[in-house]
Amino acid sequence: MRRSLCSLALALAALTACGGDGGSDPKVSLAGTYNLSTVDGQTLPYLLGQDATLKVEAVRGTFTIGSGTYTENVTIRFTDASGTEDVAAICAGTYTNTGNALTLTETASDDCSGGNWGATWDGRNTITVNYGLQVVYKR
C-alpha cells in the first residue's frame, strides 16, 4: 500500500513549505503553522492519481515556518482492494525571501525530491507554493 510514496511526492513536487521575514504589515509574522487548503483550486481531498487498483489522495497537511527553516507534513491516503492507509510525507528545508516572494530549498529524502520552489505570501494568512500545481496553505 505504501508503494509509490516517493513517486507521489515527486508528482506533487514534494509539497514543501516556506517562510521568511518580509511582508506588507510589520506586525504580521510569516512564522507559524499553515493548513493545506487547496491544490490547483480544488478542495481536499485532492486526487493525485488513480488506476484500476489504486487511488491516491492528499487529504490534509500543515507546514510550520520558523527562522529560515520549514517543515511540511502532508497526509497521503492510499486506497486499494485491501483497504485504506494514511501515510505522512514529511518534507523539510530552508527558505529565503525578498518581501513576499519566497524561494524554498527542499532537502531530498525518501518522501521528498529536493529542489527549489517558488512561493508567495499574501502578507497575512496565505502562502501559495508553485510546484507546477498551485498549493495553497492558510492559517
Q: Each residue's pLDDT tens digit in the chain (139 positions)? A: 544 443 444 344 344 333 344 445 567 899 999 999 999 999 999 999 999 999 999 999 998 999 999 999 999 999 999 999 999 999 999 999 999 999 999 999 998 999 999 999 999 999 999 999 999 999 9
Q: Write the CB contacts of 18 (distance below 8 Å, at least 6 apart in sequence).
A: 63, 65, 70, 95, 97, 102, 104, 117, 119, 121, 127, 129
CATH label of the domain that carries residue 80: 2.40.128
Q: Which domain holds residue 51?
A: 5-138
> What pLDDT, on a 0 to 100 scale, did the predictor assign at position 26?
60
pTM of the model: 0.80
Query: What is the domain count for the chain?
Result: 1
Neighbours of 103 (CB within 10 A): 15
